[in-house]
Structure 1
Amino acid sequence: MKLYGSLTSPYVRKARVLIREKNLACEFVVADAWAADSPIPALNPLGKVPVLVLDNGKTLFDSPVIVEYLDSLKTPPLLATSGETRWQMLCWTALADGVLDAVVTRFLESRRPAEQQSADNIRRQEAKVARSLDYTERHLSDGAWLMSGHFTLADLAIAVALEYTDFRYPHDWHPRHPRLATWLAEISKRPSLAETRPPGMEKK
């Protein structure tokens, strides 16, 4: 298998973390979706990363599909296969993806020329992040993991989202959410997260 994507994309990173957690044989191919000679549009008509090319030549996209497929290749699963636990895990992953979408939108808006930026749009995205941080702080368990008694896809997705928030939207959420900040500091030491941390996102 080959996983195509950029080093800084958090959506790609989710798949890379899972590959390391599962110890799967998968080549990572660094590809810029925006480059004129990018292979991505030919693999994914949406022109987005990540893209997973299977050994039979078929492709999968985008990150939710790829992550669930990779998780299915080797036990134990990081995503519960049925029941209430599965739906709760999927809610956590949806929350994480929503945070990523808000942070990416805010970041791209902030890079536009000042006279073209929408302050209202930036505030809307920041409000989404703030509500999500509040929600996660309130719903943290007392243990090391968000759900169950072990590392799951919920932990993976939220950890990647929070680290990306610190990377692209650094602000003082840590003092206001001390339990969440402590949780992130501990889970960020996990080898699969440490080994996939992109350049510029190194922990101080």
Structure 2
Amino acid sequence: MKLVGPWLSGYTRRVGITLRLLTLPFEHLPYHAYREPERVRVFSPMARVPALQLDDGQVLVDSHAIVDYLDSIVPADQRLMPASGPERVRAMQLVGYACACYDKLARYCDELMLRPEAHRLAHLQAGYREQMESGLRVLEAAHADPWLIGSRISQADIMAVVAFQSASVVIPRTVNSESFPRLAALAQQAMQFTAFSSTLPDLEDLQASGLIGADNGI
């Protein structure tokens, strides 16, 4: 399999973490959708990442579809989403909040960095931040014992950590270990797994993107 997209993309990172936790072999092609759209389009006509090319040549886009497929090809006891019942509902709730947080962060960054300063809409920026921080507070309130769905790591943990770590890079004065101690502890626990530590975006890539402290701590 070939995974297309940089670790800078939280959803690409989600898929990479999943592949590594499930010990599924893959080749990582860190093509950036903005900087290298033509290379991405070879796999994804919309130049959208992540894209996962399967061994038979078919390509899946959208991290939700990709991780669902990956769960379907491993033994049941290795899957990263509960199969049914209250645990599955709870996992879906938390994944939904974490993805929503990441989506709002991405919109916030686009508004802050892609739109010319004279045309930025302050109320949109404030709204995205408020929604994102509200979602993070929901995740913060979830009890991890030791993981969000109990004894085994799940997609809820993966996406919660991705969202928290991404936000802590962009707005570190607001999203940090003091404001969200449980999420920080969850991230620290997850980072003991190579699947998480090996997929952190490179500092050079973060600096080039302008994401580090993008809001100047406001």
AA aligned opposite 2:92 = L
Instruction: Assess, with a 3 A threshold, how the Cα gap between structure 1 residues 144 and 53 changes in structure 2: closer, same or farther.
Output: same
- Cα displacement string for residues 74-102 of structure 1 (whole angstroms, at most 9, x for unaligned residues): 23111112222112211211111111111
TM-score of the pair, normalised by structure 1: 0.90
Which shifted more, 59-68 or 168-177? 168-177
- Cα displacement string for residues 58-117 of structure 1 (whole angstroms, at most 9, x for unaligned residues): 111111111111222223111112222112211211111111111111111111322111
AA aligned opposite 1:126 = R
Matched, 1:137 2:140: yes
AA aligned opposite 2:111 = E
Secondary structure of the equivalent of 2:203?
Answer: coil
CA distance in 2, matches of 1:27, 1:177: 34
What is the aligned counterpart of 2:95 among 93, 96, 100? 93
Unmatched 5+ stretches in structure 2: 205-218
Instruction: Assess, with a 3 A threshold, how the Cα gap between structure 1 residues 117 and 55 changes in structure 2: closer, same or farther.
Output: same
AA aligned opposite 1:138 = A
Q: Are the equivalent residues in 2 in contact too, given 1:99–1:161 (CA < 8 A)?
A: yes
CA distance in 1, matches of 2:201, 2:140: 26
AA aligned opposite 1:53 = Q
TM-fit CA distance, 1:50: 0.5
Q: Are the equivalent residues in 2 in contact too, given 1:5–1:50 (CA < 8 A)?
A: yes
Q: Are the equivalent residues in 2 in contact too, given 1:10–1:160 (CA < 8 A)?
A: yes
Q: Are the equivalent residues in 1 in contact too, given 2:101–2:133 (CA < 8 A)?
A: no
Unmatched 5+ stretches in structure 1: none
AA aligned opposite 2:73 = L
CA distance in 2, matches of 1:182, 1:126: 22
- Cα displacement string for residues 136-168 of structure 1 (whole angstroms, at most 9, x for unaligned residues): 122223x22001211111111111111111122
Instruction: Report the equivalent of 2:38.
Output: 38
Matched, 1:175 2:178: yes
Q: Are the equivalent residues in 1 in contact too, given 2:38–2:47 (CA < 8 A)?
A: no
Secondary structure of the equivalent of 1:128?
Answer: helix
Q: Percent identity?
A: 26
TM-fit CA distance, 1:170: 2.1
CA distance in 2, matches of 1:150, 1:87: 16
AA aligned opposite 2:34 = W
Instruction: Report the equivalent of 2:106.
Output: 104
Give aligned pairs, total: 201
What is the aligned counterpart of 1:184 among 187, 198, 201? 187
Instruction: Report the equivalent of 1:12.
Output: 12
- Cα displacement string for residues 151-193 of structure 1 (whole angstroms, at most 9, x for unaligned residues): 1111111111111111223223332332332232222232211
Within a 5 Å distance, the mapping from 1:36-75 to structure 2 comes to 38-75=38-75
Instruction: Report the equivalent of 2:202.
Output: 199
CA distance in 2, matches of 1:23, 1:144: 22
Instruction: Report the equivalent of 1:127.
Output: 130
TM-fit CA distance, 1:121: 0.6
What is the aligned counterpart of 1:151 among 150, 153, 168? 153
TM-fit CA distance, 1:36: 5.9
TM-fit CA distance, 1:37: 5.7
TM-fit CA distance, 1:35: 4.0
Q: Are the equivalent residues in 1 in contact too, given 2:37–2:47 (CA < 8 A)?
A: no
TM-fit CA distance, 1:42: 4.3
Structure 1 segments (4+ residues) deviating >4 Å = none
